[in-house]
């Protein structure tokens, strides 16, 4: 897939791919890969028992890390359609996709309510 500024490793469960889904998947991958490093740097930067120079170095390293490695850059998106609003977190699906899959019986443990 050309045209992206970052390496794309596409192994997504959905059959429909667009740039938003690929970008979201990339951000999730990068955040997971850099999580340990970021946590260690944050610990060093916040530890008042350490010398000021070491703390400053950690803060600078955190500031120079790319934005797509941060957890707050990740937005919940539907894995099927790429929608960002109306997401049901437990299934990572847009409300309409959730309804279609539930009615088709493709979601385990979900059935139409009747009372």
Residue 4 falls inside a structural domain: no
Same domain, 80 and 44: no
Residue 2 falls inside a structural domain: no
Total domains in the fold of the chain: 2
Same domain, 25 and 64: yes
Q: How far is residue 51's CA from residue 49's CA, in Å, rounded to a whole number?
A: 7
Same domain, 37 and 84: no
Residue 24 falls inside a structural domain: yes
Same domain, 47 and 92: no
pLDDT in tens, the chain (115 residues): 455 565 556 555 555 677 777 888 888 888 899 999 999 999 999 999 999 999 999 999 999 998 888 888 788 888 788 888 999 989 889 999 999 999 998 988 888 888 7
- What is the span of the domain harbouring residue 54? 18-74
Predicted local distance difference test score (pLDDT) of residue 1? 46
Residue 1 falls inside a structural domain: no
Same domain, 82 and 70: no
- The CATH number of the domain holding residue 39 is 1.10.287.1480
Same domain, 70 and 80: no
The secondary structure of 73-111 as a DSSP string is G-----TTT---SSEETTTTEEHHHHHHHHHHT-STT--
- H-run or E-run covering 45: helix 19-46
DSSP class of residue 21 equals H
Same domain, 67 and 82: no
What number of other Cβ atoms are within 10 A of residue 93's Cβ?
24
Q: How far is residue 24's CA from residue 114's CA, in Å, rounded to a whole number?
A: 36
Task: Check if the beta carbon of residue 62 is closer than 8 Å to that of residue 42.
Answer: yes
Same domain, 50 and 69: yes
Same domain, 24 and 70: yes
Count of alpha carbons within 13 Å of 11, Cβ hemisphere only? 3
């Amino acid at each position: 897939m050309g045209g992206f500024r970052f390496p794309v490793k596409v192994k997504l469960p959905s059959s429909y791919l667009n740039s938003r889904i690929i970008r979201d998947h990339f951000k999730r991958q990068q955040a997971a890969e850099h999580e340990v490093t970021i946590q260690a740097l944050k610990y060093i930067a916040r530890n008042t028992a350490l010398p000021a120079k070491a703390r400053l170095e950690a803060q600078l390293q955190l500031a120079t890390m790319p934005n797509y490695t941060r957890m707050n850059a990740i937005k919940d998106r539907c894995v099927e359609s790429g929608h960002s609003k109306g997401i049901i977190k437990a299934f990572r699906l847009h409300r309409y996709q959730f309804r279609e899959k539930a009615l088709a019986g493709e979601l385990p443990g979900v059935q139409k309510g009747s009372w």
